[in-house]
Structure 1
Amino acid sequence: MPAFMNQLKRRVEHAIRRRTARRLLVALKRATHRLPSTLVAPGRARVLVIAPHADDEVIPCGGTLLRHRQLGNPTRVVFVTDSSAGLADAQAAQRLRDIRVKESEQVAQAMAFESVVRLDLPDGQLVRHEAPLSERLMAQIRDFRPDVIYCPFPGDGHADHQACALAVAHATVALGWKGEIHAFEVWTTLWPNVMIDISDQAEEKQRLIGLYASQMADRDYAAGTLGLNRFRGLQHRVQYAEAFYRCSAHEFQTLTDMLNQLVP
């Protein structure tokens, strides 16, 4: 019975987060729907990527990271969860973790990341670990000293992604960090204020997503993601683009505060 109640409680928490995320997106649209997005190009920068799960570094922003690679920009990826999909069977969870670590290592090698950090927090339960996650992200920011952080948008339709956004907001503001946050889309499209042309990187991005074979068994992430990138490119008359909400740490905190305040 305790296990059932814990599972039910997690489902309720996730449902509340999904509803509040939708309300956040509506509120943001009202504030920004008249603002056009701008097509921008990556510049020289130290790049930190906060990926809730293994594959969240390449699906939302793989093309952009390939452009950073072309510039020789140092890039660190922080994988937040253990990517075990929250499986109840310990052995099955470990097998999946091992597989996804190997897949992410292949991607990291191909992308020439300077470093990869694994925090190994429990997959599907980050809402319970936001405070310690924030502390650990502060340590990463102090150590790596990024100029730009890529992380999930607060309204993205996954509780782990929302928890990562809240932790990033707290960590960057607490540190007085002065760089730019580029919030990305995975499970929920956002209202972007910047886009990056990845037309020349789309084919390689598709190949890299395919390296996560364990995640491609029941759904084609590559086709879906490149379809979204193709759609994003229409606005700026380019073949493929990745969309982001670019803002300061304090602006990002305002957005994440809305996620916690919009209680049904």
Structure 2
Amino acid sequence: MLPFAEYPLRPSDFAASLGSTVAIAPHPDDEALGCGGLLALLHQAGQPTAAVLVSDGSMSHPNSKTFSAAARRAVREGEFRHALTVLGADTTEPLLLELPDSQVPGTAAEPGFATAVARLRAYLLQQQVATVLVPWRRDPHPDHRATAALVQAALAGLPQPPRCLEYVVWAWERATPEDLPTDADAVSGFRLDITSVLAQKQRAIAVHRSQVAPGVFVDDEAGFLLSMEVLAHFAVPYEVYFEANEPEI
């Protein structure tokens, strides 16, 4: 049984303390699923928000003959931008890293890692970021873990590291005990109350039609769709985050 429901609950006005925030999504839809409620709350609080899309999202339906890889990428990018509009996070042009879906590099030895880190670092500096939202470092999907590694490498080169909140997506469904925080991680989990913006988050998730309902990429029967069971995790009135513990004095 996951411990998420036992985590302390922070009120929605927590968002107002975060300042300029950049949400980093491995795939189009992760921004809505993992931190859509917080993005909506940040908009309500008047805090500047921006977004980064790491992968090109083209591999959810790789066997489609009607939609080429470039066409699939365009559909999913359009859904990503639409979801940001729904959440009020579309005032700043997002950074699109366009790394290969399912093959996001997660180590310095992999092609594309250093370039992605440099582009991400430059974007964070440009946004004068105070807080980043990033997938939990062991969220059980390779692209999510690789995204966390890219972000950590980018943050390491900033003169003033921002606050880092790690959100969960696949940990709701697939987490093993080894995937959850340990004492060595030195992080604490909390829930954020998103009751007031839950309907807005649900609308943003629904914008990702290619992932939540048949009818977009119709000629790939083995293609990926979010199940009702998975979507139910994101219909609760809170989101789960991990944050580094305060250092002991």
TM range (shorter): 0.7 to 0.9
For the residues of structure 1 that align with 2:55 and 2:26, how far apart are their CA atoms? Answer: 6
Structure 2 residue aligned with 1:43? 16
Structure 2 residue aligned with 1:79? 53
| Contact 2:9–2:193 under 8 Å retained in 1 | no
**Kindly tell me: are residues 245 and 88 of structure 1, through their superposed partners in 2, closer, same or farther at Cα, counting changes over 3 Å?**
same
Structure 2 residue aligned with 1:121? 99
Aligned counterpart in structure 1 of residue 82 of structure 2, from 83, 89, 106: 106
Structure 2 residue aligned with 1:211? 207
Structure 2 residue aligned with 1:6? none
| Contact 1:229–1:242 under 8 Å retained in 2 | no
For the residues of structure 2 that align with 1:149 and 1:136, how far apart are their CA atoms? Answer: 15
RMSD: 2.8
- Paired residues, number: 209
Deviation of the 1:164 alpha carbon: 0.9
1:1-264 to structure 2, matched below 5 A, reads 37-40=8-11, 41-44=14-17, 45-85=19-59, 87=62, 92-113=68-89, 114-115=91-92, 116-127=94-105, 128=110, 129-189=112-172, 190-191=180-181, 193-217=189-213, 219-220=225-226, 224-227=230-233, 230=236, 240-247=237-244
For the residues of structure 1 that align with 2:119 and 2:7, how far apart are their CA atoms? Answer: 35
Deviation of the 1:108 alpha carbon: 2.0
Could you tell me the percent identity over the aligned residues?
A: 26
For the residues of structure 2 that align with 1:88 and 1:135, how far apart are their CA atoms? Answer: 33
**Kindly tell me: are residues 39 and 221 of structure 1, through their superposed partners in 2, closer, same or farther at Cα, counting changes over 3 Å?**
farther
| Contact 1:210–1:222 under 8 Å retained in 2 | no
What SS class does the counterpart of residue 191 from structure 2 fall into?
strand
What SS class does the counterpart of residue 142 from structure 1 fall into?
helix
TM-score, L = length of structure 2: 0.74
Give structure 1 stretches of 5+ with no counterpart: 1-28, 231-239, 252-264
| Amino acid corresponding to residue 241 of structure 2 in structure 1 | F
For the residues of structure 1 that align with 2:75 and 2:96, how far apart are their CA atoms? Answer: 14
Instruction: Describe the superposition over 1:30-89 as per-residue Cα deviations: whole angstroms up to 9, x where unpaired.
Output: xxx9x9645252124101011111111110111111111101111110111111117377
Give structure 2 stretches of 5+ with no counterpart: 173-179, 182-187, 214-223
Deviation of the 1:93 alpha carbon: 1.2
Q: Which has the higher helix share?
A: 1
